[in-house]
Amino acid sequence: MANPSLLILAGDGIGPEVMAEVKKIIGWFGTRRGVTFDVSEDLVGGCAYDAHGTPLTDATMAKAQEVDAVLLGAVGGPKYDSLDFSVKPERGLLRLRKEMDLYANLRPAQCFDALADFSSLKKDVVAGLDIMIVRELTSGVYFGEPRGIFTEGNERVGINTQRYTESEIARVSRSAFELARKRNNKVCSMEKANVMESGVLWRQVVQEVHDREYPDVELSHMYADAGAMQLTRWPKQFDVIVTDNLFGDLLSDLAAMLTGSLGMLPSASLGAPMANGRPKALYEPVHGSAPDIAGQGKANPIACILSFAMALRYSFDMGEDATRVEKAVEKVLADGLRTADLMGPEGGSPVSTSAMGDAIIAA
């Protein structure tokens, strides 16, 4: 069987710094576990613009379509702020998402016990929390037509349209049900079927896909406003949540911050199944290029490392190895190791990006 293939696009700012730690872990898998990844590396974002005059070349795009998974660091930085919109670093990432048609955005909210004090919620509400929000990423109110600012009579009117087709709802709900089968077999779907037609259709289609293809998964429905309330009241009642683009935007940020620092949060964006049965996939930390700390060895590599763990689980069928990486992260945190972003106002002595990576490997 061919080796699993991975395209690394480290990008800008702290991207290359946090990615260096992932590369060490990939090396560890080769020497200690006998798992060799076919890794190729390329440019995306500002560094690609510097080299080629575009934030993503056609060749890189083609490569991304071929590999089992893409792992991305971060793009952008103040150096590129004045660039024309068409060549901005972020456009490289948007092109990847669009051309790979990555319609399911997975954002886990996972609370490591050692960091439970970081949450704004009570410790027992978040300790051990491990939920996954699946956000529809390519449709809904962000894309629906008509949209724009028009003149009506003697005033302006701003219009956006929430629009979902049956097939768009069905495919993202399949992503959620597939995930649930790899986790705790439980999905909660959120919409506003009480006030929105798209919500009514959403609820129907999710239920139909469930009854037809995933009757073994436990499915519930909740209005998104009630969902927001329940997420802060008792988040551990959920496992997988599936929702549309707009509600997912809000709910995934909310859920993410139940657990602490931006430097801890991984994500995956999945598309249609490829010939090997696994979805097209791009994994990346939630955080950006963090220009304020770039080049100083201060960045927390855990978000990027956990993104790689997600790749192991969802693209490479290496769930046990994903857990191995996550447990190592848990251990170093329990041992008290902290990068600067994980220190409270009382301070302490933070470890560097590479010291954190080394400790995770040792663990």
**81 is known to lie in a ligand binding site:** yes
How far apart CA 212 and CA 210 sit, in angstroms, is 6
Q: Which residues bind ligand ATP (CB under 6 A)?
A: 14, 18, 76, 262-263, 287-290, 292-293, 299-300, 303, 341
Contact string (CB under 5 A) for Mg ion, positions 284-313, x = contact: ----x-------------------------
Q: At what angle are helices 302-314 and 319-334 packed, to 10 degrees?
A: 160
**335 is known to lie in a ligand binding site:** no
As measured in angstroms, the least distance from the Cβ of 110 to ligand ATP is 16
The residue annotated as part of the active site, out of 24, 101, 142, 358, is 142
* Pairing assessment for the beta strands 69-74 and 104-110 based on DSSP bridges: unpaired
Q: Which does 262 bind (CB under 5 to 8 A by kind): ligand ATP, Mg ion, none?
A: ligand ATP
Q: DSSP alpha helices (H): ranges in 135-244?
A: 166-182, 197-213, 224-233
As measured in angstroms, the least distance from the Cβ of 261 to ligand ATP is 7
As measured in angstroms, the least distance from the Cβ of 296 to Mg ion is 19
CB 26 within 8 A of CB 39: yes
Q: Which does 289 bind (CB under 5 to 8 A by kind): Mg ion, ligand ATP, none?
A: ligand ATP
Q: Which residue is nearest to ligand ATP (CB)?
A: 288
Q: 169: closest CA among 272, 243, 100?
A: 243
**83 is known to lie in a ligand binding site:** yes
How far apart CA 101 and CA 114 sit, in angstroms, is 37
Residue 295 tokens read as 């080049």
CB 192 within 8 A of CB 224: yes
Which residues on neighbouring strands pair with residue 200, listed in sequence order? none
As measured in angstroms, the least distance from the Cβ of 62 to ligand ATP is 25
Is position 103 annotated as part of the catalytic site? no
**225 is known to lie in a ligand binding site:** yes
CB 109 within 8 A of CB 133: yes
As measured in angstroms, the least distance from the Cβ of 13 to Mg ion is 12
The residue annotated as part of the active site, out of 117, 211, 225, 335, is 225
Residue type, 276: N
How far apart CA 355 and CA 185 sit, in angstroms, is 37
The residue annotated as part of the active site, out of 12, 42, 239, 249, is 249
**294 is known to lie in a ligand binding site:** yes
Q: Which stretch binds Mg ion (CB under 5 A): 50-58, 216-224, 280-288, 346-354?
A: 280-288
Our CB check for ligand ATP shows the closer of 68 and 341 to be 341
CB 248 within 8 A of CB 139: no
CB 240 within 8 A of CB 176: yes
- Residues assigned a catalytic role: 142, 192, 225, 249, 253
Annotated binding site for Mg(2+): which residue ranges? Answer: 225, 249, 253
Residues forming contacts to Mg ion in the complex (CB under 5 A) are 288
Annotated binding site for substrate: which residue ranges? Answer: 97, 107, 135, 225
